Structure 1
Amino acid sequence: MHAWRFDAIGTRWEVETSAPLGEGDRTRISSIVAAFDETWSRFRDDSIVSSLRSGGETATLDRDAAADAHAMLGAYRELADATDGAVNPLIGTGLESLGYDASLTLQPGSPRPAPGDWQRLLSLDADAIGLSAPAVIDVGAVGKGRLVDLICDALAHLPGRVTVDGSGDLRVRGGAARVALEHPYDPTSAIGVVEVADAALCASGITRRSWGDGLHHVLDGRTGLPVRTWAATWALADDAMHADAAATGLFFDGGAALADRWGVEWVRMSTDGRVERSEGFPGELFTVSASSSSAVGIGKEAPQSRLRRQAAENTEE
């Protein structure tokens, strides 16, 4: 297998293929990533979502961006309904208020809930998106998964196994890969392993982008506060966007039921070390004691330098 590694949307990517990727395929992937970032990054002043943050504006989308918008916001509507509004695409203002802003100040202010009426404020037509009031769109619950799918689909013409790995969100086509479920409090160990065969596996954890005193990027849109019950989630689905969406939804009441309706298999680990799984999850889980999480430091502050190295990504979970 041959691996092409690159940095995009603030994280490390790897595309693994049976034969080395040609220059044409690399150029096409780079173009897909650039276009997605130019539309959806809240960390760029020149992106479409940044142009809408003051409210009262509408932006025209090209065909590909419009398709992304309809797919991602459709998933958000289902997530919002299932979690009683906990998952909300206008959570960007809350993230920025807590310091996870374009400059990565990491200086928290007061929590800011996302607008509960986001479906009224955020409009989407066939080729245009708009906001009727000041707000910040953040598609982190589904965006990186969507980009994984776009890259994987763009390489559908290649023979053999193709693996697209966006640092926690991956999709495998034309074969299988054995993937460890990384322990959220100890990256040198795993709580289980699963084979991903012609499917996608997405993971989310509260220790990946964390800073300050218990602050991290998974916020409850109703309160603007970080979630406290679940430490990490994993979701296995046919496509990465729905796996990514389910991984976010699993942090909240109603998320597991939505994953089950979507046919997504899942695992989640609580902050006190308990592990739950869907009935049909095909992987192997290792024994995790209730005390193992506290032994590795629940609530321990993550170094700010690590968060800055990861860079500000608009599509991460």
Structure 2
Amino acid sequence: MSTVPASWRFDAIGTRWEIVAERPLPAAVRDEVTARIDAFDRAWSRFREDSDVSALAGGAVSLPSPEDAAPMLDALAAVSDATGGAVNPLVGDSLDALGYDAHYSFHDGGPVAAPRDWRERLSWRDGRLALTEPATVDVGALGKGRLVDLVLDVLMRTESGDLTVDAGGDLAVRGRPQRIGLEHPFDPRRAIGVWEVTDAALCASAINRRAWPSATGTTLHHVLDARTGQPVRTYAATWAVAADAMTADAIATALFFDGGPRLALEWGAEWVRMSTDGRVEWSPGCRADLFVRADVGPGTAPVSRPNSLEG
């Protein structure tokens, strides 16, 4: 049977993937992974003209519900509640307005708030995904984590042994522990710490990724407060560890807002976040190994600059 190397790298959904398996992956498994990613992309990508969410944005009233709609949109509803509406799956038009659109124009047209009554407009019950009026659904707050879980499910049905699925820094680990470096959001050559992950997922978000200049000379990025349509300015980067990647991804997004830590506690996730003034906060009992000054108590500390990276 034809096989691919135990370390498989490829590009999909706009990011670089790496799957590392203890034993080589059969070509049939690779094909199944590729098909699973494409099916998810065809349902949820607002960057594809042929996707389900693009059809809804273009005026379709309803469509057969993608199989991931209920788990993702139920979780997004919980995140929206926890953050006072700062996270909202109808934020797609807000991202488009600032230039993070299907054409990657990066043309700043000014902030547009997402509709606060999104749950009255968007429904995902009875086998249908429906909108009362056209709008752009964006599941970026947790969608990549969900896809990591789906890919991991495919691989777990094989005899591949220890596994790491890494989608541009959002990753899931099964088997042998992995030490993951936490990239400094202001200097990608450095880390603010390392986190050993075992049979769990680690997801991260940062304002230095997918950033572009505004018309006024300030920097825009993809992490928006849906209530204002403006990029967040208080926190620069977040990391979360949870049992599955969708949960970790959702918490990493929620941590940019005040309700994030409480939601993480309720969902059993550990976390670290760094503010834009260089201070680091972490959850009680967090097992990340952070490079901070020894004379600062637990919970918050300014970042020291490490001499070396681990990962």
| TM-score, normalization by structure 2 | 0.90
Corresponding residue for residue 222 of structure 2: 217
Instruction: Classify the secondary structure of the residue corresponding to 2:177.
Output: strand
Q: CA deviation at 1:20?
A: 1.2
Within-5 A mapping of 1:1-317? 2-55=6-59, 57-61=61-65, 65-66=66-67, 68-157=68-157, 158-212=159-213, 213-287=218-292, 290=302
Corresponding residue for residue 309 of structure 1: none
Q: CA deviation at 1:168?
A: 1.5
Gaps in structure 1 of 5+ consecutive residues = 294-317
Residue pair 2:280, 2:302 contacting (<8 A) in 1 also: no
Residue pair 2:204, 2:240 contacting (<8 A) in 1 also: yes
Residue pair 2:280, 2:303 contacting (<8 A) in 1 also: no
| Amino acid in structure 1 at the alignment position of 2:258 | D
Q: CA deviation at 1:78?
A: 0.5
Residue pair 2:292, 2:304 contacting (<8 A) in 1 also: no
Q: CA deviation at 1:153?
A: 0.8
Q: CA deviation at 1:56?
A: 5.6
| TM-score, normalization by structure 1 | 0.88
Change (3 A) 1:159 1:43: closer
C-alpha distance in 2, partners of 1:218/1:77? 17
Q: Structure with the greater relative contact order (CA < 8 A, sep ≥ 6): 1 or 2?
A: 1
Instruction: Classify the secondary structure of the residue corresponding to 2:10.
Output: strand
C-alpha distance in 1, partners of 2:194/2:220? 28
C-alpha distance in 1, partners of 2:50/2:161? 38
C-alpha distance in 2, partners of 1:284/1:109? 41
C-alpha distance in 2, partners of 1:185/1:108? 23
Instruction: Classify the secondary structure of the residue corresponding to 2:204.
Output: strand
Residue pair 2:143, 2:246 contacting (<8 A) in 1 also: yes
Change (3 A) 1:194 1:134: same
C-alpha distance in 2, partners of 1:240/1:175? 17
| Amino acid in structure 2 at the alignment position of 1:29 | V
Identity of aligned residues (%): 56
Pair member with larger Rg: 2
| Amino acid in structure 2 at the alignment position of 1:44 | R
Report Cα offsets for 1:60-86 as digits up to 9, x if no partner: 13xxx32x1100001101001000000
Structure 1: which 4+ aligned runs deviate by more than 4 Å? 288-293
C-alpha distance in 1, partners of 2:71/2:245? 12
Instruction: Give the length in aligned residue pairs.
Output: 289
Gaps in structure 2 of 5+ consecutive residues = 294-300, 306-311
**Which is further off, 224-233 or 131-140?**
131-140
Instruction: Classify the secondary structure of the residue corresponding to 1:26.
Output: helix
